[in-house]
Amino acid sequence: MTQSERALEDARQAGIDLDLLDTIQSLSIAERWRQHDAAANLADKLATAYEPDASPSDCSNPNESPCPNSRLKNQRVQLPP
């Protein structure tokens, strides 16, 4: 077994999805950037979708999750195509 073959086998055993890596590498750089931007925009929308009305210290029981004095904005997040 060559050093490259050993490295690939070690990666598989470590749980690395080599098929996914091959798929990603087959995309153009422009397509990778487009997918990255779409994922970053979605992450931003999800991060801002939660708007707490009160800080955790204002909760009667801070161990409750989510704090009962918090709410989600009535907002739909558009998933990229």
| Residue 52 maps to a domain | yes
Summarised one tens digit per residue, pLDDT across range 23-42 is 999 999 999 999 999 999 89
Tokens of 11: 């990666």
In a domain, 80, yes or no: no
Residue 45 — very low, low, confident or very high, per pLDDT cuts 50/70/90? confident
For residue 29, being part of any structural domain is answered with yes
pLDDT in the model for residue 54: 42
Domain coverage including residue 34: 3-72
Rounded to an integer, the average pLDDT of 46-60 is 59
- Asked if the structure places residue 54 within a domain, the reply is yes
Is residue 77 one of the residues assigned to a domain? no
Taking 90 as the threshold, does the pLDDT of residue 64 lie above it?
A: no
Query: What whole-number distance in Å separates Cα of residue 23 and Cα of residue 18?
Result: 9
Look at residue 56 and tell me if it is in a domain.
yes
Is there a contact between 49 and 77 (Cβ–Cβ < 8 Å)? yes
Domain assignment present for residue 14? The answer is yes
Is 81 domain-assigned?
no
**25 in Cβ contact with 62 (< 8 Å):** no
Q: Please count the structural domains in the chain.
A: 1
**pLDDT at 81 exceeding the cut of 80:** no
The confidence score (pLDDT) of residue 21 equals 92
